[in-house]
Amino acid sequence: MHLAYPAVLSALLFCTGLYGVLARRNAILILMSVELMLNAVNLNLVAFDVWLSKTAEETLHSGQALTLFTIAIAAAEIGIGLAIVLAVHRNRGTADIDRLRDTAEGHESREGSAADGPDTDAPATGAAAEKAEATA
């Protein structure tokens, strides 16, 4: 088998994962795209390990060992990443990356802020009302 076949497949997988990371807005889909990119790297590691072991007299299988480490790191990354995404979804009510970034930077509209004066009799609107309803 030629080295070009797994290398082209790995490049296609990596480009698909890169497109998913750059174009998606959902945090879970971004994590899945990162996993796709890591699997493309694993495919390259194993393919080059097999290709180099045919030319070398001593086979160390270092590519396959690195693949096992990559799989372990990917599993830990997905576990921690999903825990973070679920915690953020519980607190903010969304997993949309753009909306999370906007609220982190303070770009959300603040109706009834301190500049308008204290108005405690006004009904709560927007995200504050949704959070109040969720906690009630």
- In SS3 terms, the chain reads as CCCHHHHHHHHHHHHHHHHHHHHCCEHHHHHHHHHHHHHHHHHHHHHHHHHHHHHCCCCCCHHHHHHHHHHHHHHHHHHHHHHHHHHHHHHHCCCEHHHHHHHHHCCCCCCCCHHHCCCCCCCCCCHHHHHHHHHC
Write the pLDDT tens digit of every residue in 72-94: 999 999 999 999 989 988 888 88
pLDDT, residue 105, reads 66
pLDDT, residue 25, reads 85
Write the pLDDT tens digit of every residue in 8-53: 999 999 999 999 999 988 888 999 999 999 999 999 999 988 888 8
Write the pLDDT tens digit of every residue in 102-132: 666 665 554 444 444 454 455 556 565 565 5
